[in-house]
Chain A
Amino acid sequence: MKSLVKIAWRSLWRNRRRTILTAAAVVLALVLALFMRSMQFGSYDQMIQAGVNQVGYLQVHDTGYWENQSIDRAFFYNKNIGEAIKKIPEIQMAIPKLETFSLASYGKQTKGVLISGINPVLQNKKTHLGKKIVKGSYLSNKQNEVLVGDNLARYLHISIGDSLVLLGQGYRGITSYGIYTVKGIFHLPSTEINSQVVYMNLTAAQYFVYPYQKGLLTGISLYLKDPLKLQEVKQQLSVSLGKHYEIISWKKVLTDILQSIKVDNISGQVMLLILYIIAAFGIFSTTLMMTMEKRKQYAIMISIGMQRSRLVWVSILETIIITITGILAGLIIVTPILFYLHANPIPLTGEMSKVYEQFNIEPILPFAVKAHIFISQTLIIFVLSTLSTLYPIIYLSRFNILKAFRH
């Protein structure tokens, strides 16, 4: 009914200040919620990106390697694999790896380590390992050089130029043995890596593990031009590589990052919940006031013959108008800001930036602009304020009109 809209609309104008204040509560809640979410999702993207830079979007292994990471599940690189990868233009880079466990000793100290055979140039492109060298220098293409983590070096009392003895089980049960010169000592954010990993040239690692045939790998990390094409690429590869190879996405590899994101996300949601409660309370108290203030007028309307169910619409319309106005204003304010910050993230300086760099993360505060953030926050705020009309609905459908006259 047109009059109801008219009554609701004009009532809002009549109490302009309160209407504006309530709409402002909606605006504030929406702006804050969007800001928080955008920043949160931005940092998640950043963490994931840093993780993906380490491990690749996809990894190709011999089938079963991921479940049971034994050197016996390694595979020999062949032309077919190379061609299958090259055939897919979406793949930007492929980094082969050979990883195996071994004993490392120097002097009287011995420790179990993970030997990681890498292509120094490609690896440095994605992970900037070269920048993490705290003593000595990065790998060249000499076959007898290794990099050790600072914790491992301390444990073994080993330093630059010293000879590290590696002894382990090679491919197909052979015994592997080698002596290597420490070229550099690195420090990465992960203590686990710092106390466990020994990097060497891929070819050196291959020779160490199985000197009889070239090209042994435990995996190939693949980097994509467009991460959104992940499923597509995975599909294409698994068709061309066949069932002897497994293709694993970063989601399976980076479970701990995803887990910590999940935990952080919950704390973010708790913050949001508090924000929502405050906003809902603001909206609710206004609708409550609007209803109570007008109960005499409402009583007259029912007396002269207006059904309560119609009256309820006035109240609902008022709240919906306020909410939609608030939501639109909020979106108009916050959207350009978020898009700006997404394009021009805030750079971090000082200590913070060092921490970020250590983690191989660009020292910026990124903002994500994703449709789902906007849609979910807008919907939640809309539902919240719509819920706040519940009280007027209940009140108007049962209040005693004669009592309303007497007060």
Chain B
Amino acid sequence: MSIIEIKNVFKTYNETSVPVHALNGINLKIGKGEFTAIVGPSGSGKTTLLNIIGGLDLPSKGDVFIEDVNLKNLSSRQLIDFRLHNIGFVFQAYNLIPVLTALENTEFIMELQQVPKKEREQKAIRLLETVGIGDKKDHKPGQLSGGQQQRVAVARALASQPKYIIADEPTANLDSKATEELLDLMRNMNKQYHTTFIFATHDQRVMDRARRIVTIDDGKIISDEQTEK
């Protein structure tokens, strides 16, 4: 059973001036518990596709279904609420609110979801321990390394109990050790809790860890393979 279904999606930027056809007829289904990499050369449309899957942007043409919901039928307020309750995000950088501690950052999303204080605090502490930041929970992002910050971002994404997590080049700013650690973490979460991850990357090491690799070029899917690991 797929949780995401992308039907004949086109995305054109600058439709009125100099049109850029970023996506040209994408069809894609992603099932629960997948650990999928979207790869392709720079400018191929990876970020565009992830933004559409993540409900941050809408297609120019075509439909995006998350389970039964067609995203284009949501108002912009509804879309924000939809993201809050269904989608987790790990960005390449600037993920965290700089004035909040790791713990507060993780709690913040649950506060938006109106989880009671006690419950969210316990859960945030547990998640930070899971991602290996337990001892640094009271540090602000500025006091954490890039890898540690990304792990807090993963903890935050998990805290909202999303249907899936999208991550656009989450390791782009990390060295190889931190990259390994983050991938291990995501993969473990994926295995243990069947959390669905979809990430975009150029990084060969990241691709190697993926269980499914969707390659796009020029806004079209040119290959889609399962890797058995």
Contacts and interface: CB of A to CB of B under 8 A. Distances in A.
A binds B: yes
A305 B108 contact: no
A151 B206 CA distance: 103
A238 to B, nearest CB: 66
B83 A304 contact: yes
A140 interface: no
Interface in B74-131: 77, 80-81, 83-85, 88-89, 91, 94-100, 104, 108-109, 111-113
B59 to A, nearest CB: 13
B160 A3 contact: no
Interface in A1-40: 1, 3, 6-7, 10-11, 13-14
Given A7-B97, A11-B99, A401 B81 contact: no
Interface residues of A, number: 22
Contacts of A3: 100, 104, 108, 111
B187 interface: no
B136 to A, nearest CB: 18
A305 to B, nearest CB: 2
Nearest to B86: A305
Contacts of A302: 80
Interface string A360-376: 00000000000000000
Interface in B41-90: 51, 54, 56-57, 77, 80-81, 83-85, 88-89
B156 interface: yes
Interface in A279-330: 296-297, 300-308
Contact of A306 (B56, B95, B112): B112
Contact of A402 (B57, B84, B89): B57
Contact of A6 (B54, B80, B104): B104
Interface in A359-407: 401-402, 405
A7 B100 CA distance: 7
A306 B109 CA distance: 8
B112 A296 contact: no
Contacts, number: 63
Interface string A87-120: 0000000000000000000000000000000000
A297 B156 CA distance: 15
B84 A1 contact: no
Contact of A305 (B91, B95, B96, B160): B160
A interface majority secondary structure: helix
A236 B97 CA distance: 70
B227 to A, nearest CB: 29
B80 A301 contact: no
Nearest to B94: A296
Given A10-B100, A14-B99, A402-B56, A305 B112 contact: yes
Contact of B77 (A296, A307, A402): A307
B198 to A, nearest CB: 15
A37 to B, nearest CB: 38
Given A1-B111, A6-B100, A10-B100, A304 B94 contact: no
Which of B89, B99, B109, B156 is packed against the most chain A CB atoms within 10 Å? B99
Contacts of B112: 304-306
A310 B190 CA distance: 32
Given A296-B94, A297-B94, A304 B89 contact: yes
A297 B89 contact: no
Nearest to B76: A308
B80 A306 contact: yes
Contacts of A7: 97, 99-100
A307 B80 contact: yes
Contacts of B98: 14, 297
Contacts of B91: 300, 303, 405
A149 to B, nearest CB: 75
A13 B140 CA distance: 14
B111 A304 contact: no
A297 B56 contact: no
Contacts of A11: 99
Nearest to A299: B94
A10 B101 CA distance: 11
Interface in B134-162: 156, 160
B97 A301 contact: yes
A264 B96 CA distance: 56
Which of A3, A11, A305 is packed against the most chain B CB atoms within 10 Å? A305
Contacts of B94: 296-297, 300
A6 to B, nearest CB: 7
A297 B80 contact: no
Contacts of A307: 77, 80-81
B99 A304 contact: no
In the A-B complex, list the 4 residue pairs whose CB atoms are closest, starting with the nearest. Answer: A305-B84, A10-B99, A305-B83, A296-B94
Given A296-B94, A300-B91, 17 more contacts: A6-B100, A6-B104, A7-B97, A10-B99, A11-B99, A14-B98, A297-B94, A300-B95, A303-B83, A303-B91, A304-B84, A304-B88, A304-B112, A306-B80, A306-B84, A307-B80, A308-B80
17 contacts: A6-B99, A7-B99, A10-B100, A13-B99, A297-B97, A300-B94, A300-B95, A300-B97, A302-B80, A303-B54, A303-B91, A305-B81, A305-B83, A306-B80, A306-B112, A308-B80, A402-B51
